[in-house]
Structure 1
Amino acid sequence: MDERARMTSKGQVTIPKRVRDALDLQEGDEVLFRVERRRAIVAKTADFLQLAGSVAIPAGKRGTPWDDVISRTRRQRAARRR
């Protein structure tokens, strides 16, 4: 899909309705602009809560208390710095 928009003197661009609909953009949503090879890519950023469950947790690690995860991570980072 190709859509055009015009930039205002303040650098603002209205995202065309067809693009908003295609990306399921709602008022208040955050968008990411990435520039690659002189082209801009616009993407809807994921809401933090939408990411829940997107990373597989190994069966042996499920149910580990968060404090234990943080402590173990800090120890491993400290060991790498030595």
Structure 2
Amino acid sequence: MPSLAVTMKGQVTLKRDLLQHLGIKPGERIEFDKLPNGELRVKAARPTGTIDNFIGRHAGKARKPMTIEEMNEIAASSWAGEE
């Protein structure tokens, strides 16, 4: 069983193989569950958002839909290096 040292600040660093085992990538979060007898359960925190939350957050912020001609103009000007 791997062991970790605790820093003066009370922090620990998980080794790469433990993070890989959890499926954790940089920037992701980890959850801990306190169990009896001083044990912890460690697991990857998975996002719980829904598409409804996403849509609700952006409600009323959308501009009017573009026509295909407007989209083509934007694409053509970007390819030509214009902005």
Normalized against structure 1, the TM-score is what? 0.53
Task: Map Cα deviations across residues 40-72 of structure 1 (whole Å, 9 max, x no partner).
Answer: 1111011236x78xxxxxxxxxxxxxxxxxxxx
User: Displaced runs of 4+ in structure 1, greater than 3 A?
Assistant: none
Larger Rg: 2
Match of 1:43 in 2: 43
Looking at structure 2, the residues matched to 3 and 16 of structure 1 have their Cα atoms a distance apart, in angstroms, of 9
SS of residue paired to 1:20? helix
Q: Is the 8 A contact 1:7 1:13 kept in 2?
A: yes
Q: Is the 8 A contact 1:4 1:16 kept in 2?
A: no
SS of residue paired to 1:43? strand
The count of aligned residue pairs is 51
Q: Is the 8 A contact 1:31 1:44 kept in 2?
A: yes
Match of 2:31 in 1: 32
Check if 1:19 corresponds to 2:18. yes
